Copies of this chain bind each other. A is one copy, B any other.
Amino acid sequence: MKNEIDKKIMIVRKLLQIGAYLQKTGARVTKEYGLTQQQFVVLNEIVEKKTVNQKQLVGELLFEKSNVSKIVKKLNHSELIDISISKGDARLTILSATKKGADLRRKCLDSLNELSLEWLDSLSEYEIEKSLNSLSVIRQLIFKS
């Protein structure tokens, strides 16, 4: 019987493995919409937040600021988001989604969600609650480090 240390290591291994698989599969879906996973996540955040700046995106998504900058540039070039300069602080860029961006994000999100439902199709309600609870606990521990 494995001890506690081995079990914790096993948990992290499974999270990495499942995460990597979902990442890669999700990437194939977002690619159909001309976006990488990270680009989609950024667009999604901008849509959800209505207006946001890059520092906030870096903080919340834990992406590299150089990459966020490049993603913002590309999304703007594709006319999915608008960039304006903050009146109070010229260093800040204020980001918001265009209608085109919101529409694309909606479609992409629907496809991703469809995939999610396929994956967990036969998960019981009991297992759902259990899983959500476990993941919340784990997430809290990991992100506070």
Interface of A toward B, CB cutoff 8 Å: 4-5, 7-24, 26, 62, 113, 116-123, 125, 127-139, 141-143, 145
Give the shortest distance, in Å, between A59 (CB) and chain B (any CB).
13
Which residues on B sit within 8 Å (CB–CB) of A121?
Answer: 141
Give the shortest distance, in Å, between A89 (CB) and chain B (any CB).
29
Provide 10 A-B residue pairs closer than 8 Å at the C-beta atoms, listed in order of the A residue.
A4-B128, A8-B123, A11-B120, A12-B119, A15-B22, A15-B135, A21-B142, A24-B62, A131-B134, A134-B134
Q: Do residues B118 and A145 form an inter-chain contact, with CB atoms below 8 A?
A: yes
Which residues on B sit within 8 Å (CB–CB) of A131?
Answer: 11, 134, 137-138
Q: Do residues A10 and B137 form an inter-chain contact, with CB atoms below 8 A?
A: no
